Amino acid sequence: MTLTIENILLIGSLLLFISIIAGKTSYKFGVPTLVLFLGIGMLAGEDGIGGITFDDPHISQLIGVISLNFILFSGGLDTDWKTVKPVMKEGIALSTLGVLLTALTLGGFVYFITDFTIYESLLLGSIVSSTDAAAVFSILRSKNLALKTNLRPTLEMESGSNDPMAYVLTIAFLGLVVNQDQGLASMIPMFFQQMIIGGIAGFGFGKLSKIIINRIKLDFEGLYPVLVITLMFITFSATDFLGGNGFLAIYICAVYLGNQYLIHKKTILKMFDGLAWLMQIVLFLTLGLLVTPTHIMPVVGIGLVISLFLMLVARPISVFLSLIPFKMKLRRRFYISWVGLRGAVPIVFATYPLLAGIDKASMIFNIVFFISLTSILIQGTTLSIVAKWLHVSLPAKAKPKDPTDEFLLEHPKTEMREIGIDNGNIAVGKQIVELQFPKSAIIAMIKRDDKYITPNGATIIEADDMLIVLSDSKKGIDQVFETLEIRASAR
């Protein structure tokens, strides 16, 4: 079957529906969703029961880049800076030095066991050098696995920020494969250019995006997520145009925005969470359609050897060397080494050699696909078992409770206070989002001229307003008074 304009919507919607149902089943049985989505794509493909012919790496790469934008941006928005800050150095070490060491170690191994040139071997190592955030946390959620101390934030920081490094290495070594006369020294300036411009642009666009979101006045709440999507693509494309790393830029931009006060922030977060899931499904289905199972069979033997070396040697070496400067128990280092899941990102990066037309591009793609598949099947299904063996998981009774349950248990009566706003108060004329209320308190309603208004972040406070404020504690109410600069004597 060939995809046409007439049938693509029907086929696409049916595949999405099947994937959603399969994803629901995977949470019950602990099967990684990535495997199911890829499997559905392969079954629908040329060698499967669907018989759909799809072999366009250009479209696959376009879908991959767009999907990675949404997945990285959504992950950045959900990153709590207070949680990540204590492990930021460890996360950065793993996402930069760790990725580089993985690429070099695996590339050297591939060079010695295959007929690949050194640059082709390092290219393969670079493509599979980053871990997959979507795979890691979808499995952790499905297993309901809670980890001790700062293990989870460390894994979150690494998984969310290591794709840019892998991308730079992939592009650099691909350039060396295409232009054999160049040396390794030629990739150093490009590396620093990509990272420095990407980092600066990400922070700059983050600050600019916050100003635009909070100051622009849109008539409909539903337009704000659309505005953020537009700003996301502008950040990526403008950074890429300037010669920086667009993936790094959108991740930094999203982390900054996710920890700021934004108008309609809950709506934006919910929309991006749904879009990230949609993009993951679309991406995995597309990659499943692109691969031809009969082409993978000849590389199963060498693929398995490379995959096992990556899991048991290259990844542990890179983790242990990267974390040498930091104090961390040995068993936690071993667990971080094991949670080195490869997912859709390496498969997307493997389309770059296909488009460049290098000799061994098809073989590299098939090996990368097999590595990602075995990584998910072997490591992904054993995360909870290994966590128990290494004693890094929390007992069921010690797992963090749902925040809502904790709130109801500890604060059966929510604190409420009516706060009058005088004409000279600093809040007059400002939007609620500009006040930077403590996160433990909200303005539930505003009484204005005998009318009750349900406010949002864009609501402007006026003189003589009566704010009905809810908080989870008296301390939260006191912080509200401090934010509004209301003296104790006037409370």
**pLDDT digit string (tens) for 336-383?**
999 888 877 888 899 999 888 888 899 999 999 899 889 888 888 788
Indicate the residue among 398, 431, 450 that finishes a domain.
398
Same domain, 358 and 459: no
Same domain, 173 and 32: yes
Query: Where is pLDDT greater, at 369 or 132?
Result: 369
SS in 3 state form for the chain?
CECCCCCHHHHHHHHHHHHHHHHHHHHHHCCCHHHHHHHHHHHHCCCCCCCCECCCHHHHHHHHHHHHHHHHHHHHHCCCHHHHHHHHHHHHHHHHHHHHHHHHHHHHHHHHHCCCCHHHHHHHHHHCCCCCHHHHHHHHHHCCCCECCCHHHHHHHHHHHCHHHHHHHHHHHHHHHHCCCCCHHHHHHHHHHHHHHHHHHHHHHHHHHHHHHHHCCCCCCCHHHHHHHHHHHHHHHHHHHCCCCHHHHHHHHHHHHHCCCCCCHHHHHHHHHHHHHHHHHHHHHHHHHHCCHHHHHHHHHHHHHHHHHHHHHHHHHHHHHHCCCCCCCHHHHHHHHHCCCCCHHHHHHCHHHHHHCCCCHHHHHHHHHHHHHHHHHHCHHHHHHHHHHCCCECCHHHCCCCHHHHHHHHCCCCEEEEEECCCCCCCCCCEHHHHCCCCCEEEEEEEECCEEECCCCCCECCCCCEEEEEECCHHHHHHHHHHCCCCHHHC
Query: Where is pLDDT greater, at 32 or 164?
Result: 164
Residue 84 has pLDDT above 50, yes or no: yes
Residue 120 has pLDDT above 80, yes or no: yes
Indicate the residue among 373, 398, 423 that finishes a domain.
398
Same domain, 63 and 211: yes
Q: What is the CATH number of the domain that holds 95?
A: 1.20.1530.20
Indicate the residue among 371, 398, 425 that finishes a domain.
398
Q: What is the CATH number of the domain that holds 410?
A: 3.30.70.1450
pLDDT band at 159 (very low <50, low <70, confident <90, very high): confident
User: Which whole-number Å values give the CA distances from 133 to 76, 167, 185, 193, 236, in the listed order?
Assistant: 11, 15, 31, 25, 19
Residue 409 has pLDDT above 70, yes or no: no
Q: What is the pLDDT of residue 111?
A: 95
In a domain? residue 1: no
Same domain, 259 and 172: yes
What is the spatial distance between Cα 236 and Cα 232, in angstroms, rounded to a whole number?
6
Residue 92 has pLDDT above 60, yes or no: yes
| Average pLDDT value for the chain | 83
In which domain, by residue range, is 466 found? 405-490
Residue 403 has pLDDT above 50, yes or no: no
What is the spatial distance between Cα 58 and Cα 63, in angstroms, rounded to a whole number?
9
What mean pLDDT is predicted for residues 59-74?
Answer: 88
Q: What is the pLDDT of residue 315?
A: 95
Q: Quickly tell me which residue has 């919607």 as its tokens.
A: 13
- For 439-485, the pLDDT digits (tens) are 778 888 888 888 888 887 778 888 888 888 888 778 888 888 888 88
In a domain? residue 3: no
Structural domains of the chain, count: 2
Same domain, 282 and 392: yes
Residue 55 has pLDDT above 80, yes or no: no
Query: Where is pLDDT greater, at 489 or 183?
Result: 183
Same domain, 272 and 345: yes
Q: What is the pLDDT of residue 414?
A: 65
> How do strand 466-471 and strand 415-420 relate by DSSP bridges?
antiparallel
Residue 412 has pLDDT above 70, yes or no: no
Q: What is the pLDDT of residue 283?
A: 83
Same domain, 341 and 452: no
Query: Where is pLDDT greater, at 123 or 131?
Result: 123
Residue 400 has pLDDT above 60, yes or no: no
Residue 228 has pLDDT above 70, yes or no: yes
Residue 404 has pLDDT above 50, yes or no: no
Q: What is the pLDDT of residue 45?
A: 74
pLDDT band at 3 (very low <50, low <70, confident <90, very high): low
Q: What is the pLDDT of residue 97?
A: 93
Residue 408 has pLDDT above 50, yes or no: no
| List of residues 6+ apart from 205 with CB closer than 8 A | 231, 234, 235, 238, 239, 249, 253
What mean pLDDT is predicted for residues 229-252?
Answer: 93
Two structure tokens written together for 289? 């359609």
In a domain? residue 20: yes
Same domain, 244 and 298: yes
Query: Where is pLDDT greater, at 54 or 377?
Result: 377
Same domain, 287 and 411: no
Share of the chain above pLDDT 90, in %: 26
Answering whether pTM is above 0.85, one says no
User: Which whole-number Å values give the CA distances from 27 to 22, 94, 118, 283, 440, in the listed order?
Assistant: 9, 28, 41, 19, 32
Two structure tokens written together for 191? 């590396």
Share of the chain above pLDDT 70, in %: 87
